[in-house]
Amino acid sequence: MTTTAVTTGQPTTTTSGGGGAPRLPRGRRTIAAVIVAVLLLLLAAYAAWQAILVQLGGNPYPLDAAAVSARLNETPWNHPAVTVTGVVLAVLGLWLLYLALTPARRKLVELREDHPDVATGIRPVDLRRAVDGAAERIDGISGSRTVLRRGTATTTVTSPLGDPAGLTEKVTAAVTEQLTELDPLDPLTPRVRLTGKDR
């Protein structure tokens, strides 16, 4: 059995009674699932509606499948509407196929745990706040903004002092220490940029 506890601003912990080290769940393909479900629902509802009308002896409404088929048979393959429709459907199909074959991204940054049955993660926004807080605790730093991207944590700090000697190194050391304490499962390389303008 798996239990998950979430606290805003704090790491999220998932415990499992299984054998190996657990992994945090990935996000859901909600958009793709909704699109496919809505399309299938519309097609099924339309087919059922047409079948009911035919059984009751009424005329197909709002679309006559026979009339639509006849119109399509008269439309040449090089008609612009056919080309545009084909391109749109192909792009939509490829996009849905891509979403189906690629795993969804995890919504949490996984952190290393000593306990083999515990998986811990933190929201990216909270990780950025922790790194910014570590940078802003350095004397002379008035602001910090961190961006997480492809294995790096790029922190841009501002200081009204300009660029005094050793300030960048102090911030880098503080950010590195914070990342070491959090210990992401996929390591983040800290990068610090110092600007002289106070934001």
Please check whether residues 7 and 58 belong to one and the same domain: no
Domain count of the fold of the chain: 3
Phi, psi (deg, nearest 5) at residue 70: -65, -40
HSE (side-chain half, CA atoms, 13 Å) at 108: 24
Burial degree of 94 (CB within 10 A; 0-12, 13-18, 19+): exposed
Whether 116 is covered by a domain: the verdict is no
Question: pLDDT value at position 122?
Answer: 83
Q: Which residue has the higher pLDDT, 56 or 136?
A: 136
Whether 149 is covered by a domain: the verdict is yes
Question: pLDDT value at position 27?
Answer: 62
Please check whether residues 91 and 154 belong to one and the same domain: no
Q: Which residue has the higher pLDDT, 174 or 33?
A: 174
Q: Which residue has the higher pLDDT, 60 or 190?
A: 190
Please check whether residues 46 and 87 belong to one and the same domain: yes
CATH number at residue 159: 3.30.70.1350
Range of the domain at 170: 123-195
Question: pLDDT value at position 183?
Answer: 85
Cα separation of 124 and 171, whole Å?
20
pLDDT digits (tens, 9 = 90+) for 85-122: 889 989 988 888 887 777 767 677 788 877 767 677 88
